[in-house]
Amino acid sequence: MSHTRAPLAPERFPDLPPVRGVRAGVGRIGLYKHVRNDLLFAHFPDGASVGGAFTTSSTRSPDVDWCRRALAAGGGKARALVVNAGNSNAFTGAAGAAKNAASAAAACALAGCGPDDVFIAATGVIGQPLPAHTVAEHLPGLWETMTAPDWPSLAAAIATTDTYPKGAGRSVEIDGVTVHLAGIAKGSGMIAPNMATMLVFLFTDAALSPAVTQALISKHVDLTFNTITVDGDTSTSDTLLLFATGASGAPLITDVADPRLAPFETALHEVMLDLALQVVKDGEGAEKLIRIEVQGAHSDASARRIGLSIANSPLLKTAVAGGDANWGRVVMAVGKSGEPIALEKLAIRMGGVWTAREGGAIAYDTAAVDAHFAGRAIDILVDVGLAGGRAVVWTCDLTKRYIEINGDYRS
């Protein structure tokens, strides 16, 4: 984790609620040149329901494939989670599979479970095979130190180029019983919305069936993590998992339409969006958060594609970095999206000021727009004048620091 804290970082790690039914700890494998924790091990003594979402990359890591198989074969049940930073285990062939088999075997021996109850994730450098027992040999010692989760430590252990650990949490009631939800995330580069493009782990002591747990993740990942991008690059290792232990004593929810679930679902959405925006705010070298709203599109999906075309434009992102309110670059990015628009009705608003309307330039208060672009939070609205489709996406500016970080990533 970088020692230079991003300018958009929160003042401190938030106070997260305790989640019953979880033991966890962190340790050091030694995958970094400097001294830091790079291993997370969590245990669910009485089991947990689990739901997940994963990268859509065709070069995904064996860890992602492991989790996908475990979800299907184990029926959405979990007993352990093993995560390492410093090496993504992606594009490592037979060595990557051997590393996961050894890690799972060690976790199974400690937790007294089968391999389909163990979930594995990794983040870091691609294409560097590790000896099979690199992770596994550290799990027995870590098992002896596991306690109730120390959320800041867990978040820091999974970070790579992040400049701060990321966490969010809520407490709500289900049928009169208080349940807690806590989440941690890592991510600051290789972020594009083809799932979640990062590692995200959510823990709750609510009692949710596996089907409900998965349905909630499938719905809300699309409304949160799939609305963000830093650099347009989809990671090989993206993994988002929600574990529900049921240890709160709240009644079991088996139907996602159960009205008793509504407060928890709202809290889950808030936590996921909070974490997603923390990732954007920590975009490698980022100094400004950009909110892009597209309306008037053929459909919501079309609006999202237009928004992402704008958000992933290096020309637009560098203009924002330089404080240049160059709305012509927005026009360009709308056009390259390939989505249908009503050109004669295209309108652009920046910082609450219309800079173009009815398909062309208009006179506007340039001083007000320039002042907006000098700030940390940039707001852009585009109306493509066609129908009722709408979407909001989030990104960050592109600075020289992004090049410095990624030019030296393996150094």
- Classify residue 364 by burial, with Cβ atoms within 10 Å: 0-12, 13-18, 19+: middle
Which class is 23-281 in CATH? alpha beta
- pLDDT at position 408, please? 59
Neighbours of 299 (CB within 10 A): 16
411 has a pLDDT exceeding 60: no
- pLDDT at position 402, please? 75
192 has a pLDDT exceeding 90: no
CATH 3.10.20.340 intervals, the chain: 289-407
The reply to whether CATH 3.10.20.340 applies to domain 289-407 is: yes
Biggest CA–CA distance in the chain, Å, is 70
The mean pLDDT value for 107-134 works out to: 95
pLDDT band at 215 (very low <50, low <70, confident <90, very high): very high
Whole-structure pTM value: 0.92
The mean pLDDT value for 36-59 works out to: 93
CATH 3.60.70.12 intervals, the chain: 23-281
DSSP, collapsed to helix, strand or coil, labels residue 367 as helix
189 has a pLDDT exceeding 60: no
What is d(CA 314, CA 178) in angstroms, rounded to the nearest whole number?
46
Unique residue bearing structure tokens 């870590």: 142
- pLDDT at position 235, please? 66
Backbone angles phi, psi at 309, to 5 degrees: -60, -40
- Measuring CA to CA, which residue among 139, 105, 158 is closest to residue 23? 139
| Average pLDDT score, the chain | 92
For 104-162, give the DSSP string.
Answer: HHHHHHHHT--GGGEEEEEEEESS----TTTTGGGHHHHHTT-BS--HHHHHHHT-SS-
Q: Report how far apart, in Å, the C-alpha atoms of 240 and of each of 103, 125, 193, 375, 408 are.
A: 19, 19, 13, 32, 27
**Which residue numbers are catalytic?**
197
The mean pLDDT value for 253-269 works out to: 98
